[in-house]
Each structure stands twice: as C-alpha cells, then as structure tokens.
Amino acid sequence: MKPSYPIPARMRHLERDRRGYAIPVIVLRDNTGKPHFTINDEALRQRCIYGDLCSICGTKLFRNRWAVAGPLSMLHEVGRVIDTPVHRECLLYALHMCPYIAAPNWNPDKRIDTKTLKPEDAPEHLVLTDPSMMTNRPPLFVAAMFRDVRWFGDNGLAQYYAPVRPYLAIEYWQHGKQLPQAEGEALARDYMPAQLERHLKGATP
C-alpha cells in the first residue's frame, strides 16, 4: 500500500522503504541495512536527546516542540513519555501514517519486526526494551506542545521525560483523525482511571 499522507518538506531527506514510507532517524537498522520500524536504535535516540534533535527527521528542534503518547503518559500527574520530542510537521506525518497510532485495525500480533530481527543481524550497540510499558494500544492518543522537559534515567542514559506543564497546546487523535476537543477530553478522562487500575493490578509487587 502506498503512503496516503504527503511527506513534509522537513522529512524529504530521509530514506524511504520499499513502500515509500519515510524512515525516521531513530529506527533500528540491522546489519543488512533493513529498517525495523517498531524498534528504536538506542544510540541514535540518545543522540537526539542530547543534541536536542527531532527523533523523526533528525534536525534541530524549535523552542516549541511536540510529543504524542497515550493519555496516561501525557495527562497523568506522574506520567512519563519515552518517545522523544519532534517537530509539528513530523508529528503530523506520524499521526497519519504510523500503524500503531493511526490504523483502526492495528493488531499487536502483526508486529513482526521484533520477531524477524535475527540475532546474527542485530547491531552490537545498545538496544533497550521497556518491560513497564503497557502492551495494549490506548483508544486515543494525546499530542501536546511544550517547551521544556525533565529527563529521568540511570547509568548515564536519559530514558523517560515529563513535559513541563501547562501545555501550550493539546490535541486528541484517534485512528489518524483529530477529535473534537470535548470528545477527546471525555474519552481520555473515562479511559485513565480504569486503565490505571488494571495496570496496577497486573504489576509485580
């Protein structure tokens, strides 16, 4: 299937895969050069963090930057985000084209990148997994604009961040479409308490 949302000018320098999709700079490439879209290259992610670079196009961020995540990450008072900040144009491309965010029929069982990365093709540098992340996709995503972040991590690596609030702008997205503000707020509000309770019940003491 060919991409249906145009690649922004800011991203046109990026290499494309065989389908025509732009490959974000932090996407892991194995030793054969194949991109694995569901796996981040941690070395490149750290470079974006410390260089204040957009993790999609790889160029310098503006003073105002954006992030997108589930309601708990973006709205809960102790929420944390792992996907690093991006430009507005790059964010819009992801909101329309990333299957996890935009595809109505997204199926976690079809996330084949982690299954097809052969050990002999895996890069030698650091690749991190996060066992604390929820595996189910939230019913909607929250995109927000902010200026500053607080980073959290250990062993000299920045792993998570909390955008400094109040947000300068906030949007609600579902299946590649922006929701009316009131509808998005209501969905997020209804989702958060129940999902947080389920997550805490399943947590290891």
What is the DSSP track for 93-131? Answer: HHHHH-HHHH-TT--GGG--HHHH--GGGS-SS-----T
Among 16-25, 70-79, 130-139, 146-155, which stretch is predicted with the lowest mean pLDDT?
A: 130-139
- Find the mean pLDDT for residues 77-93: 94
Does residue 113 lie in a domain region? no
In this prediction, residue 135 carries a pLDDT of 53
Does residue 78 lie in a domain region? yes
Does residue 3 lie in a domain region? no
Q: How many domains does the chain have?
A: 1
Query: pLDDT band for position 133 (50/70/90)?
Result: very low
CA-based nearest residue to 176, from 203, 140, 125: 140
Query: Is pLDDT above 60 for 129?
Result: no
Phi, psi dihedrals of residue 113, rounded to the nearest 5°:
-60, -45
- Find the mean pLDDT for residues 12-24: 93
Does residue 95 lie in a domain region? yes
Task: Please tell me the distance from the alpha carbon of residue 111 to that of residue 133, in angstroms, as a whole number.
Answer: 15
In this prediction, residue 100 carries a pLDDT of 87
Highest mean pLDDT range out of 4-8, 53-57, 110-114, 124-128? 53-57
Does residue 112 lie in a domain region? no
Residue range of the domain that includes 60: 9-105+135-201
Query: Is pLDDT above 80 for 127?
Result: no
- Find the mean pLDDT for residues 3-23: 92
- Find the mean pLDDT for residues 93-107: 87
> Where do the DSSP E strands lie in the chain?
27-29, 35-40, 65-69, 141-146, 149-154, 157-163, 169-174, 177-178
Does residue 123 lie in a domain region? no
In this prediction, residue 59 carries a pLDDT of 97
Q: Between 36 and 59, whose confidence is greater?
A: 59
Query: Is pLDDT above 90 for 88?
Result: yes
Query: Is pLDDT above 60 for 205?
Result: no
Average pLDDT, the chain: 84
Task: Please tell me the distance from the alpha carbon of residue 91 to that of residue 163, in angstroms, as a whole number.
Answer: 16
Under 8 Å CB-to-CB from 175, ≥6 apart: which residues? 102, 103, 104
Question: Dihedral of the CA atoms 43, 45, 47, 52 (nearest 10)?
Answer: -170
Does residue 115 lie in a domain region? no
